[in-house]
Amino acid sequence: MALTDTELARRTAGGKMKRKISEYFSYYLLLLPFVFFYGAFTLYPLVHGFIVSFYDWKILGEKQFIGLQNYIKIFHDSVFYSSMWHTILFVLISTPVIVVAGFLFACIVHQPLRGKTVYRLVFFVPIVLSVSVVASVWSAVLDSHTGMLNSIIKLFGSKGEILWLSHPTLAWLAVIVITLWWTVGFNMILYLAGLQEIPDELYEAAKMDGANAWKSLLYITIPALNRITVLITFLQIIASFKIFSQVYLVTQGGPAGATRTIIQYIYEEAFKKYSFGPASAMSYIFCFVLLIISMIQLRISKERE
Amino acid sequence: MKEKKLNTGRILLYVCATVITAVWLIPLLWVLLISFKPSGSGVISIETWFTPPFSHSNYIYVFNNAPILLWLWNSTFIAFITTILVLLICSMAAFAFSNGRFPGYSPMFWVILAGLMVPGEAFLVPLYILFRDLGMLDTYQALVLPHIAVPFGMILLKQFFDGLPKELYEAAKIDGCGIFRLLFVITLPLSRSALAALGIFTFLGSWKEFIWPFISITSAEKMTIPVGIPFFNSEYNEDVTIPMAANVIVSVPVIIVFLIFQKQIVKGISFSGIKG
């Protein structure tokens, strides 16, 4: 039974169509779990939070639409401004410190030193500790009466006890040191990956031309790591903006709110005072700030390419 | 002349490395040391750190008064389940986006990509309301469900899948291999390095998560380590040595696992960090 040409074409086209539909179907099936969980636990809360930010929303569920009043209230709230300012201050100070330290640490362990694996391990190990352990350890270290740091300082002849966590500037210094100690390993690892990709020939050529170590650092290493520095800097800015747990657990935002950050304020509004409306509005403002930073990052990394 | 210069440079490097190592390690060693000082023995000066009495009474106290092994188990269990689900769900979606062309492809992809920029901290309130309405506050589900469809993981895997040679699929397709079999028989075994990297990153992230469990978990027997430790410590404000014993108990297993898998962990973090 020979099929005519048109018959054959029609049949294969029909088969193709069918195959295509069943292929779509399998792809949708593959996507289904991700789309479901993403929709339910990311998109829906995101939209719902936006709605809540226009309501006077109490813990027990009584709610009243109040338009922009939550936002207006926030813009007249001095604690919001101070928390935002603390956060920005922390970003401005911690970002260069932790990025540069990560770079220097990576440079140290990249050198052919004896025992460099040990150094690398030690610089990196705090990363795997959970924040509550880090906070508990450092609270003990910085304790004014029994702490390790003051005991060591006493050894050098100081009589008085330094109240590390009771003075705003010292408390911030402590927070920065703790964050550095805890997270610098992450930046170090990223920089180390970057350093390992720079071909040795570049350094050899520079040496032939009479460049010293300082010059090759300045003219080879740093430019070669340009792309990764942009990446690390923005990762650090975003991570620093989100600072909450180590501060909350070590200083509780004290002394007198001097180290309260924006996430802590959102947390307190939402889960201590249960005023969900203002907390949601603040979350959106916070989200908006981070979005702008991400946009800048996209822009810069696009330009570099 | 040059040789000498190099030497001073190297000595300087050694000095720096040693000093930083000391600064990084001393707090941890101190904690280990004073955790063996019996509670109430007064750790106030350097001499008291090194002079007896020493005992393991703090450890016994912690084991008797806090469900600390349960917290370790909870943390491990939740991190494990989260990791498995992330790898499964993200690789399925990544495969669809990497190989498929279907109606709705780009709007879906862009909505997920946009999720990369949204900080999880920004929707704690609606997430809390959602889980309260679902009646799932203070459950393991609350700790796992919000973290399994992560745009970061999906996009990381998609990029990796995009780099695999397409000819492999063509040959398998001609042999009549379905899409699911393609994914599980061909793609995933070839992507072990990417899966390991994402898996390690996810496990560590889940293990260390603080703020959401801190909000959603209230009963002691459901707590994870990051929430359990402050919960336990808050009751022992006066005495520092008992909380230090608790810190040692929960950190030693982690550090041992880290030492065993350090190569993979470091690789996983740099892979995820740079590609992400």
Percent of chain A exceeding pLDDT 70 equals: 94
A-chain CB neighbours of B215 within 8 Å are 267, 271
Nearest to B251 among A52, A129, A267 (CB): A129
CA–CA dist A10, B7 (Å, integer)? 81
User: What's the length of chain A?
Assistant: 305
- Please state the rounded mean pLDDT for residues B102-121: 89
Q: Based on the fold, state whether residues B29 and B108 are members of the same structural domain.
A: no
Residue B160, H or E segment = helix B151-162
- Which residue from A147, A166, A136 is spatially nearest to A259, judged by alpha carbons? A166
Pairing of strands A63-65, A55-57: antiparallel
Q: Which of A168-182, B9-23, B118-132 has the highest mean pLDDT?
A: A168-182
Contact (Cβ atoms closer than 8 angstroms) between residue A151 and residue B46: yes
Q: Is residue A9 pLDDT above 80, yes or no?
A: no
User: What pLDDT is recorded for position B2?
Assistant: 40
CA–CA dist A14, B240 (Å, integer)? 76
B181 backbone dihedrals φ, ψ, rounded to 5°: -70, -35
Q: Is residue B7 pLDDT above 80, yes or no?
A: no
Specify the range with the lowest mean pLDDT, choosing from A173-177, A301-305, B124-128.
Answer: A301-305
Q: Which residue of A has its CA nearest to B147?
A: A41
Ramachandran quadrant class, A257 (left: phi over 0; alpha: psi -120 to 50; beta: rest): left
Residue-range definition of the domain harbouring residue B96: 59-275
User: What pLDDT is recorded for position A292?
Assistant: 92
User: What pLDDT is recorded for position A179?
Assistant: 95
Angle at A63 between CA A62 and CA A65, to 5 degrees: 160
User: What pLDDT is recorded for position B237?
Assistant: 59
B76-100 per-position pLDDT tens digit: 999 999 999 999 999 999 999 998 8
A108-160 per-position pLDDT tens digit: 998 888 888 889 899 999 999 999 999 999 998 998 878 888 888 888 877 77
User: What pLDDT is recorded for position B211?
Assistant: 93
Amino acid (one-letter) located at A241: F
Tell if the CB–CB gap between A108 and B126 is shorter than 8 Å: no
Tell if the CB–CB gap between A128 and B204 is shorter than 8 Å: yes
Tell if the CB–CB gap between A283 and B127 is shorter than 8 Å: no
How many angstroms separate the CA of residue B118 from the nearest CA in chain A? 7
Q: Is residue B145 pLDDT above 60, yes or no?
A: yes
Mutate to test the interface with B, among A38, A107, A208, A247 (most CBs of B within 10 A): A38
Q: Is residue A1 pLDDT above 50, yes or no?
A: no
Q: Which of B33, B57, B81 is the last residue of a domain?
A: B57
A64 backbone dihedrals φ, ψ, rounded to 5°: -145, 130
How many angstroms separate the CA of residue A42 from the nearest CA in chain B? 7
Q: Based on the fold, state whether residues B92 and B175 are members of the same structural domain.
A: yes
User: ipTM of the assembly?
Assistant: 0.89
How many angstroms separate the CA of residue B101 from the nearest CA in chain A? 8
Beta-carbon contacts of residue B134 (< 8 Å; ≥ 6 apart): none
Specify the range with the lowest mean pLDDT, choosing from A24-33, A102-111, B9-18, B121-130.
Answer: B9-18
Q: Is residue B117 pLDDT above 90, yes or no?
A: no
Q: Is residue B189 pLDDT above 70, yes or no?
A: yes
Domain boundaries along the sequence of chain A: 5-52, 77-304
Q: Which of B57, B76, B94 is the last residue of a domain?
A: B57
* CB of B13 less than 8 A from some CB of A: yes
CA–CA dist B159, B91 (Å, integer)? 11
Specify the range with the lowest mean pLDDT, choosing from A159-163, B113-117, B154-158.
Answer: A159-163
CA–CA dist A73, A56 (Å, integer)? 12
Helices A276-304 and A226-241 cross at an angle (nearest 10°) of 180
Q: How many domains does chain B have?
A: 2
SS (H, E, C) A167-229: CHHHHHHHHHHHHHHHHHHHHHHHHHHHHHCCCHHHHHHHHHCCCCHHHHHHHHHHHHCHHHH
CATH, residue B230: 1.10.3720.10
B189 backbone dihedrals φ, ψ, rounded to 5°: -60, -30
Distance of CA A188 to the CA centre of its chain: 15
Beta-carbon contacts of residue B62 (< 8 Å; ≥ 6 apart): B68, B232, B242, B245, B246, B249
How many angstroms separate the CA of residue B74 from the nearest CA in chain A? 14
- Please state the rounded mean pLDDT for residues B107-136: 90
Mutate to test the interface with A, among B125, B249, B265 (most CBs of A within 10 A): B125
Helices and strands in chain A, H and E counts: 15, 2
Q: Based on the fold, state whether residues B195 and B160 are members of the same structural domain.
A: yes
Tell if the CB–CB gap between A131 and B49 is shorter than 8 Å: no
User: What pLDDT is recorded for position A205?
Assistant: 86
- Please state the rounded mean pLDDT for residues A182-207: 89
- Which residue from A190, A181, A163 is spatially nearest to A258, judged by alpha carbons? A163
Q: Based on the fold, state whether residues B27 and B127 are members of the same structural domain.
A: no
- Please state the rounded mean pLDDT for residues A208-225: 85
Could you say which residues from 58 to 87 on chain B have a Cβ atom under 8 Å away from some Cβ of chain A? none
Residue A304, H or E segment = helix A276-304
B207-243 per-position pLDDT tens digit: 999 999 999 999 989 999 999 999 988 876 567 888 8
Residue A214 class from Cβ within 10 Å (0-12 exposed, 13-18 middle, 19+ buried)? exposed
pTM equals 0.89
Q: Based on the fold, state whether residues B176 and B98 are members of the same structural domain.
A: yes
Contact (Cβ atoms closer than 8 angstroms) between residue A134 and residue A145: no
Q: Which residues of B215-234 are buried (b: 16+ CB within 10 A; e: fewer)?
A: bbbeeeebbbbbbbbbbbbe
For residue B145, the tally of other CB atoms under 10 A from its CB is 20
- Domain A77-304 classified CATH 1.10.3720.10? yes
* Dihedral angle computed from the Cα positions of residues B207, B230, B133 and A46, in that order, rounded to the nearest 10 degrees: -60
Q: Based on the fold, state whether residues B166 and B51 are members of the same structural domain.
A: no
Tell if the CB–CB gap between B125 and A270 is shorter than 8 Å: yes
Q: Per DSSP, what are the bridge partners of residue A251?
A: none
User: What pLDDT is recorded for position B4?
Assistant: 44
Helices (H), A111-162: 116-124, 131-142, 148-155
CA–CA dist A47, B129 (Å, integer)? 13
Beta-carbon contacts of residue B74 (< 8 Å; ≥ 6 apart): B140, B222, B223, B224, B225
Model confidence at B13, in pLDDT bands (50, 70, 90)? confident
Tell if the CB–CB gap between B250 and A267 is shorter than 8 Å: no
Contact (Cβ atoms closer than 8 angstroms) between residue A123 and residue A113: no
Nearest to A41 among B49, B118, B145 (CB): B145
User: What pLDDT is recorded for position B168?
Assistant: 78
Q: Based on the fold, state whether residues B96 and B63 are members of the same structural domain.
A: yes
Nearest to B180 among A26, A124, A228 (CB): A26
Mean pLDDT of chain A: 87
Quickly tell me which residue has 């709605």 as its tokens.
A51
Q: Based on the fold, state whether residues B77 and B177 are members of the same structural domain.
A: yes
Q: How far is CA B93 from CA A23, A28, B77, B112, B154, in A?
A: 14, 9, 24, 11, 7
Mutate to test the interface with B, among A28, A30, A50, A240 (most CBs of B within 10 A): A30
